[in-house]
């Protein structure tokens, strides 16, 4: 394999392991310059990329390269100004930019504040699953920066975090036209910060972010492993907070479970109001389905609403996807669809319902390992029991999104740290143990 091919293979694997934004930022204009005595020299455009690749991605790069070229022992990053990037690489990078999702609605994004008017509270359904977060949001709108600061919303994907925090921004904007509001994803914030350093202008970055009255930062979990960004966010947080500026965060996890989050940030994130949004219950799903159909002027029968609420699970983004399929078809056919037609249409969208009780899951796993389920709850440290217990904890977390404290307490009154440890242990073992992967796949089939 020549070095160009080797690098392309490596890049295509690296791309699968990191975010698109990271990939484009750090791997654009890189190439292999030469291989000499087991050392591979990777050309990079500047000092900054060199440090970053070395500090953040070295292990990943080395592992990937060795997977293709066993003879490589080490990698050096060297600054290489000439445009030696193979054309295909540039193509690949362009492709990534083009493929980036650009929903139509993003066209309406206001560039000064990144708020999208489609996210407002008129179209937001409130139910037991999100009512606490909603109440806090309303209190913030009444008095930004005063009571609930910071506001930290967390919950699984597609449950309405972005919608909610954007809607807070939009409402404050209408109510207080003089307030400066800014919505930013953590990934964007990190890139902004890096660019400011690359352009040797960190002060412009500091000034920009310190001038807002309301900062809304989405998907803060991506701060994992970005140490410099954490440092910067910490200082920004303190300045804004001391000046009573409203700070709003979203994350897919509670701050205590964001990997690699410094303690001082963890405690600051959780120092205001921390609220979880969970999956919508049945009645809320009904309300969401009705609201979505109404907004497109489609008529839907009660029977069909009930059916959809029953079979579609709690991820609102996916639920919207299924509803859109139905709406599209009905517009194409220019008539309302019958229940039967709908059943056929969305057959593929139905995932196995994940409402199984924890106890039943444990029983299934115990059966699979040929042990009695009582033993799993007991304190036994026998190796095979410990393993089955760990697998159970892993599956409860990974597939059923059960919280660590709940897993711990349900599985014999254990501490949440035991649940975390088990989850991570199995996750880690899976990387090197194909037999374990097969076991887990077999267990999963039993839940389908
Ligand atoms: P998250 O940020 O938690 O992944 P989003 O905010 O992107 O989720 O929500 C996913 C989709 O579901 C969006 O199109 C959003 O408008 C819609 N949605 C979420 N929550 C609600 C809700 N409570 N009422 C109506 N639509 C909602
Ligand atoms: Mg989101």
Q: What is the pLDDT of residues 218-261, one digit of tens each?
A: 999 999 889 999 999 999 999 999 999 999 999 998 998 888 89
Per-residue H/E/C for 93-158: HHHHHHHCCCCHHHHHCCCCCCCCCCCCCCCCCCCCCCHHHHHHHHHHHHCCCCCCCCEEEECCCC
CATH architecture assigned to 358-447: Orthogonal Bundle (1.10)
Residue 342 has phi, psi (to 5 degrees) of: -65, -40
Q: What percent of the chain has pLDDT over 90?
A: 52
Do 121-276 and 285-349 agree at the fold level?
Answer: no
Summarize the confidence of residues 20-39 as an average pLDDT: 82
Domain boundaries, the chain: 3-95, 121-276, 285-349, 358-447
285-349 carries CATH number 3.30.1120.80? no
pLDDT of amino acid 232 = 95
Instruction: Tell me the per-residue pLDDT of 58-68, one tens digit each, with 9 for 90 and over.
Output: 888 998 998 88
pLDDT of residue 289: 94
- Average pLDDT, rounded, for the chain: 86
Substitution candidate for ligand 1 out of 103, 137, 160 with most atoms within 8 A of CB: 160
Nearest to 321 by CA among 120, 122, 157, 127: 157
Mean of pLDDT values over 155-168: 96
Token pair for 103: 């929903």
Closest CA to 220 of 193, 194, 244, 188: 188
Q: What is the domain class of 121-276 according to CATH?
A: alpha beta
Atom 21 of ligand 1: nearest residue by CA position = 160
Position 52 scores a pLDDT of 78
Do 23 and 59 contact (CB within 8 A), yes or no?
no
Q: Residue 316 CA: which ligand 1 atom is closest?
A: 12
CB–CB of 137/130 below 8 Å?
A: no
Residue 224: both structure tokens together:
């994992």
Neighbours of ion ligand 2 (CB under 5 A): 162
**CA atoms of 407 and 362, how far apart (whole Å):** 11
Distance from C-alpha of 133 to C-alpha of 121, rounded to nearest angstrom: 12
Protein fold of 3-95: GMP Synthetase; Chain A, domain 3 (3.30.300)
Q: Is 220 exposed, middle or buried (0-12, 13-18, 19+ CB in 10 A)?
A: buried
Strand arrangement of the beta sheet that strand 151-154 belongs to: 181-185, 214-218, 246-251, 151-154, 273-276
Q: Is the CB of 411 inside a 6 Å radius of any atom of ligand 1? A: no
pLDDT digits (tens, 9 = 90+) for 34-60: 888 889 999 988 776 787 788 778 888
Residue 399 Cα to ligand 2 midpoint, Å, equals 20
pLDDT one-digit tens code per residue, 86-104: 344 333 333 333 333 334 3
Alpha carbons 324 and 339: distance in angstroms, whole number: 16
Distance between CA 225 and CA 213 in Å, rounded?
A: 28
Residue 20's pLDDT is what?
Answer: 67
Tell me, in angstroms, the distance from the centre of ligand 2 to residue 164's CA.
9
The token pair that represents 188 in the structure block: 């964007």
């Amino acid at each position: 394999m020549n070095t160009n091919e080797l690098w392309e293979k490596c890049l295509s694997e690296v791309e699968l392991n990191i975010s698109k934004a990271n990939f484009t930022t750090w791997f654009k204009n890189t190439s292999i310059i030469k291989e000499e005595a087991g050392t591979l020299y990777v050309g990079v455009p500047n000092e900054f990329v060199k440090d970053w690749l070395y500090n953040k991605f070295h292990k990943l790069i080395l592992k990937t390269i060795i997977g293709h070229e066993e003879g490589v022992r080490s990698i050096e990053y060297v600054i290489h100004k000439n445009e030696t990037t193979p054309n295909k690489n540039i193509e690949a990078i362009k492709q990534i930019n083009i493929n980036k999702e650009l929903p139509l609605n993003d066209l309406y994004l206001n560039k000064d504040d990144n708020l999208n008017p489609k996210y407002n509270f008129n179209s937001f359904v409130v139910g037991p699953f999100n009512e606490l977060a909603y109440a806090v949001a309303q209190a913030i709108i009444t008095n930004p920066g005063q009571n609930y600061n910071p506001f930290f919303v967390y919950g699984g994907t597609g449950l309405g975090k972005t919608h909610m925090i954007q809607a807070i921004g939009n409402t404050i904007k209408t109510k207080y036209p003089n307030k400066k509001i800014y919505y930013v994803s953590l990934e964007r914030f990190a890139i902004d910060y890096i660019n400011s350093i690359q352009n040797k202008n960190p002060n412009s970055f500091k000034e920009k972010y310190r001038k807002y009255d309301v900062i809304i930062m989405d998907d803060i979990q991506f701060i994992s492993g970005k140490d410099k960004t954490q440092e910067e966010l910490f200082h920004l947080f303190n300045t804004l907070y001391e000046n009573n500026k409203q700070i709003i965060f979203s994350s897919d996890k509670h701050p205590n479970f964001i990997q690699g989050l410094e303690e001082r940030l963890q405690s600051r994130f959780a120092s205001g109001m921390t609220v979880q949004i969970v999956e919508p219950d049945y009645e809320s799903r009904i309300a969401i389905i009705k609201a979505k159909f109404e907004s497109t002027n489609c008529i839907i029968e009660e029977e069909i609403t009930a059916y959809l609420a029953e079979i579609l699970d709690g991820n609102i983004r996916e639920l919207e996807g299924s509803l859109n399929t139905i709406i599209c078809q009905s517009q194409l056919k220019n008539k309302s669809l019958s229940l039967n037609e709908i059943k056929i249409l969305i057959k593929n969208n139905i995932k196995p319902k994940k409402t199984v009780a924890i106890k039943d899951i444990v029983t299934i796993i115990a059966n699979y390992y040929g042990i009695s389920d009582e033993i799993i709850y007991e304190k036994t440290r026998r190796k095979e029991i410990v393993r089955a217990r760990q697998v159970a904890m892993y599956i409860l977390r990974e597939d059923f999104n059960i919280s660590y404290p709940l897993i711990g307490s349900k599985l014999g009154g254990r501490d949440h740290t035991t649940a975390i440890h088990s989850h991570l242990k199995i996750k880690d073992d899976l990387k090197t143990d194909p037999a374990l992967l097969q076991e887990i796949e077999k267990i999963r089939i039993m839940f389908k």
